[in-house]
């Protein structure tokens, strides 16, 4: 059965209901084609204000929004969605990626953050994860509280062994007595995946950067998923067992150990686990 589009950019099909918010119609066409082929129903609007109208009157399984738009940008849209109690997961896309905006988007509830241009597989991975989430399993956005300007708690830099920090919905870091940090993948990320059949990890002495892809997973369903790492630093050890037995990767398993390079500036951007 062919796909049909209405005057406002609606693609009719089966599957998840997805709302695309972007001020470029070529993006509507491109995403509508890629997602429509997967059987999803795709609506597209040019402005965030119109997106809010749609979200308040219709149910969507996922919102894909550009970051840079005239009027209300993608971050402002996410804040407004949070204020209105609109719980649809959000995938942020942008041609101007920065670590600050990426981490802010994740704190506000984004399931992922993609830089343009992206490939079909880079898009479908986070889309599929988002659509598999249940309302009960979805972690609520971080709500800003008085005295907490960034919506996160300021951690003490005098760390103790076992202190744990999280990059929401993606990865975690635990401080070790020798001053290194162990990094692993959040359970909320792994729970949305099929059986993991392959993993790509950094090598010893590699440098990794906070908010950038550090681990790549491939599943039995032939999906590719990128995991953002919580801290920057140099890799000093890699979990060989995880690399050799990717199906056994769990949220309790560390994947790499690093010597962190920018704790003072990067820890305040993370969430602290109890």
Q: What is the pLDDT, as a whole number, of residue 105?
A: 86
pLDDT in tens, 156-189: 578 999 999 999 889 999 999 999 999 999 999 9
The DSSP 8-state label assigned to residue 58 in this structure reads S
Distance in angstroms (rounded) separating the CA atoms of residues 156 and 171: 20
Sketch out the chain's domains with CATH numbers. 17-132 (3.40.50.2300), 164-273 (2.40.50.100)
User: If pLDDT is split at 50, 70 and 90, which confidence band does 52 have?
Assistant: very high
* Antiparallel, parallel or unpaired: β 17-21 and 41-45: parallel
Q: What is the pLDDT, as a whole number, of residue 108?
A: 83
Distances (CA, A) of 19 to 64, 231, 269: 6, 32, 29
Q: What is the pLDDT, as a whole number, of residue 156?
A: 55
pLDDT in tens, 8-46: 444 444 479 999 999 999 999 999 999 999 999 999 999
pLDDT in tens, 59-105: 999 999 999 888 899 999 999 999 999 989 999 998 776 778 888 88
Peptide bond into 247 cis (omega under 30): no
Mention every residue, 6+ apart, whose C-beta is less than 8 A from residue 237.
180, 204, 256, 257
Beta bridge partners of 51: none
* Of 207 and 115, more confident: 207
Is the model's pLDDT at 254 over the cut of 90? yes
């Amino acid at each position: 059965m062919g796909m049909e589009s209405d005057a406002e950019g609606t693609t009719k099909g089966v599957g998840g209901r997805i709302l695309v918010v972007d001020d470029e119609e070529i993006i509507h066409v491109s995403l509508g084609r890629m997602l429509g082929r997967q059987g999803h129903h795709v609506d597209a609007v040019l402005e965030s204000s119109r997106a809010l109208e749609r979200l308040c009157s219709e149910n969507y399984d996922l919102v894909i929004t550009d970051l840079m738009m005239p009027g209300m940008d993608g971050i402002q849209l996410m804040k407004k969605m949070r204020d209105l109690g609109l719980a649809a997961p959000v995938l942020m896309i942008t041609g101007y990626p920065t670590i600050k905006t990426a981490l802010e988007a994740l704190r506000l509830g984004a399931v992922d953050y993609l830089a343009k241009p992206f490939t079909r597989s880079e898009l479908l991975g986070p889309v599929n994860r988002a659509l598999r989430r249940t309302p009960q399993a979805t972690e609520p956005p971080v709500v800003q509280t008085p005295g907490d300007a960034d919506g996160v708690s300021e951690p003490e830099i005098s760390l103790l062994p076992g202190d744990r920090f999280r990059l929401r919905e993606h990865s975690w870091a635990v401080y070790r007595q020798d001053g290194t940090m162990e990094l692993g993948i959040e359970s909320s990320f792994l729970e949305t995946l099929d059986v993991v059949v392959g993993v790509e990890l950094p090598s010893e002495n590699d440098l990794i950067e906070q908010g950038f892809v550090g681990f790549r997973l491939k599943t039995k369903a032939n999906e590719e998923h990128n995991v953002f790492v919580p801290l920057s630093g140099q890799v000093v050890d890699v979990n060989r067992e995880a690399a050799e037995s990717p199906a056994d990767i769990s949220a309790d398993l560390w994947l790499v150990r690093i010597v962190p390079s920018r704790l003072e500036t990067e820890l305040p951007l993370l969430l602290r686990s109890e």
